[in-house]
Amino acid sequence: MDNGRSHIETNEGMHPFVMGRSFGALVATILFCMLAFNLLKKKKKRASTPSFISPMPTGEGNDHYDVFLSFRGLDTRKEFADHLYHNLDKAGIVPVFVFRDDKSIPIGEEFGPRILDAIARSKISILIISKNYASSKWCLRELIHIMDHMKSTSHIVLPIFYKVDPSDVRHLKGSFGKAFHSHKKYFDEEDIQKGQQALKEVSHLHGWESEKVANGHEGELVEKVVENIMSKLRQDFQLDVTKHLVGIGDHVNKIRKWVDTPTSVARMIGIYGMGGIGKTTLAKVIYNQLSDDFVHRSFLADIRETAHRNNMPYLQKQLIKDILQIEHQVGNVDYGISLIKSRFKRKKVLILLDDVDDKNQLDALARERDWFMLESMIIVTTRNEAILDQSEFEVDYKYELNELDGKRALLLFNRQAFRMDHSPGEFEGISRDIISNMGGLPLALQVVGSYLYKKTNRNVWEDVWEQLKNEPHRDVQKTLHISYDALQNEHKQIFLDIACFLVGEVSRFAMYMWEDCGLYPSQGIEELKLRCLIKIGDHGEFEMHDQLRDLGRSIFCQGQLLEKRSGPWDHYYKGVPKVLRFDGMVKCGTPFFFSPSYFNTFNLIYSNISSRIDICSYFLRVNIHLCPS
């Protein structure tokens, strides 16, 4: 009692003050409630507005998705939809971004606009149409919006009829129709009309019926859906290839004719040729064309440089991650090999190994055929044919890539220099002069053509032509130099001799000199051939690509004083005596080897020669004097 009385008295004592302040508070509270009521009423009205009345989202925000997943949480959230979501999320060699409302909408954000905007920002919508799908107002609105989006854009819609018959969806029959009709009273009239139309349209789309795929086994259905999705998305994941391709179609057709031959084993294609000839581009085109047939794929670019800069376990780790979608720590090559050979056997893989320049690199990544599942395809590009010959995998198909003919070389140059298939009249002649110095090498045509793009001063073109007469463009030279640097010293010597003096000459007489000089020429010539640095003609003569020849002469010139940087091929040659040709004969001398001692010897021997002599017989007479004592 006391407590109660005391409490009452206290209140009465405070009454005048409380009443004076609480009256204003009461008014404020009433006004706030009225405002809140009006806002809630408006919000409710907006929320009940059908999604198709809202403005179409522009899809210009930051969040873009590969797949929008529409499903009825009551039926599939914790089972089929969850399995599909996680399999899509980890599929492929790059992440697939999947929108699912409970995963993709931050807490506190409004549901409707974000959902509709996500549809506009997705490439593909997967509709899991289950028993209670049409009983959800939001599922219907998603469906309406998705079907509208499909009609106005390239949006792809893939329905999965999960334990329902498409005809029941179309005609609103069975348990599916019953669920829809029992909830119509909660829908707006426009939702009902457009929803029925959308259900009819989606029922005619090609999709999957869960009970008819793998006899109802959902795991296999998920795999099929994921594979189909990845196939449709791979266009975005394809390797980048230049738009200005010329003459590659014939090569692709020849290789595809072999690739398309039925087989029951894993196979390897080897594409080889000199640097800058287009091996990587051709391999990328083949890889892109085959990619739809493979879920597990990997492209290891520039293996030569990557292995040098990092190491082979780094490349093995990248390959394993691409194929298995799991990141393993690879401490050494042996452990990497054990992972690849044990884990890849159940994977049908497509692998492109670009610019392999050592047998150990190939052994660490794809040494044996039985490391891979049947019908797997390994594509290897290399400058060194010997790597393909030495492979324990036993390369099934070798393809040598050669230079472009004159017509195609001009077309490629024009596309780079003018962005069209022909030269403007005033540049037609100089364009032909420039490409005549590049020997149909695609890299040279692209580099020089791109450099000259939008350069309208003809004097610049003339300067480029003059420069190319003496040596390749610096960017081309850098690429070609890689093959030269890989040679042993003795083989470098032979390469330079051929480039400076012996292009077009019969090989057997030079062989005598090289043998006496201890350069092991048979081995050296074989190495130069395998590395695509030279060829031997039908009559035993040395053949060398113009750009490689110019590279060799440039290397020779770098060993001279600046004012003497020319050679026996140059009209203004100021070094050792110049070569003059008449009917296969020579007058005066020329350097055959790179070392200064050889040049000095030739200078002494040849400076006193004035009569015409047969170069071949002279080789035999003087070779003993050319070798160091």
CA distances (Å), origin 398, targets 258, 271, 333, 380: 11, 6, 27, 10
User: Residue range 204-233: average pLDDT?
Assistant: 90
3-class DSSP assignment, residue 154: coil
Amino acid, res. 98: V
Residue 94's pLDDT is what?
54
Please determine, for residue 47, whether its predicted confidence score (pLDDT) is greater than 80. no
Mean pLDDT score, 254-277: 93
**What's the pLDDT at 561?**
42
Model confidence pLDDT, tens digit, residues 162-204: 999 999 999 999 999 999 999 989 898 999 999 999 999 999 9
| Per-residue model confidence (pLDDT) at position 102 | 57
Provide the token pair at 26. 């009461």
What pLDDT band is residue 92 in, cutting at 50, 70 and 90? low
Burial of 8 (0-12, 13-18, 19+ CB in 10 A): exposed
Bridging pattern class, strands 377-382 and 349-353? parallel
Cα 46 to Cα 49, 53, 300: the distances in Å are: 5, 10, 53
Joined tokens for residue 2: 């006391």
pLDDT bin (cut points 50, 70, 90) of residue 526 is: very high
- Mean pLDDT score, 347-360: 96
344, pLDDT greater than 90: yes
User: What does the pLDDT average to over 421-432?
Assistant: 93
Q: Which pLDDT score, from 0 to 100, does residue 101 have?
A: 62
pLDDT tens digits for range 280-312: 999 999 999 998 888 889 999 999 999 999 999
The whole-number average pLDDT for the span 436-462 is 92
Instruction: Give per-residue pLDDT as tens, 219-230.
Output: 999 999 998 888
Rounded to 10°, the helix 442-452/474-485 angle is: 160
Token code pair at residue 130: 């289950």
Residue 562 has pLDDT above 70, yes or no: no
What pLDDT was estimated at residue 225?
A: 93
pLDDT at 437: 87
Is the CB of residue 314 less than 8 Å from the CB of residue 329? no
Range name among 111-120, 329-338, 517-526 with the lowest pLDDT average = 111-120
Across 203-219, average pLDDT: 93
Task: Report pLDDT digits (tens) over 571-602.
Answer: 444 433 333 333 333 333 334 443 444 444 34
Chain mean pLDDT for the chain: 80
pLDDT in the model for residue 36: 54
Each as own residue / partner, the long-range contacts of residues 583-588 (CB below 8 Å, 24 or more positions apart, any chain) are 584/614, 584/615, 585/612, 585/613, 585/614, 585/615, 586/612, 586/613, 586/615, 586/618, 587/611, 587/612, 587/613
Which stretches within 48-98 are classed as H helix? 73-76, 80-89
- Residue 594: name the closest of 480, 522, 501, 510 by CA: 501
Phi-psi region of 435 (alpha: psi -120 to 50; beta: other; left: phi over 0): alpha
Residue 431: pLDDT band with limits 50, 70, 90: very high
Q: Does 378 score more than 60 pLDDT? A: yes
Determine how many CB atoms are found less than 10 A away from the CB of residue 586.
Answer: 20
pLDDT in tens, 454-512: 999 999 999 999 988 878 888 898 888 999 999 998 999 899 989 988 898 887 778 88
User: pLDDT digits over 508-519, tens only?
Assistant: 778 888 888 888
> Which pLDDT band holds residue 538 (cuts at 50, 70, 90)?
confident
Decide if 371 contacts 344 (C-beta within 8 A).
yes
| DSSP tag of 240 | P
Please list, in sequence order, all residues whose beta carbon lies within 8 angstroms of the beta carbon of residue 82, skipping any fewer than 6 positions away: 76
In sequence order, which residues have a C-beta less than 8 Å from that of residue 602 and are 6 or more positions away? 576, 589, 590, 591, 592, 626
Please give the model's pTM, rounded to 2 decimal places.
0.69
Q: Would you place residue 276 in the very low, low, confident or very high pLDDT band (cuts 50, 70, 90)? A: very high
Instruction: Write the CB contacts of 242 (distance below 8 Å, at least 6 apart in sequence).
Output: 281, 446
543 is catalytic: no
Q: Kindly name the residue from 12, 79, 109, 142 that is annotated as catalytic.
A: 142
Higher pLDDT: 263 or 34? It is: 263
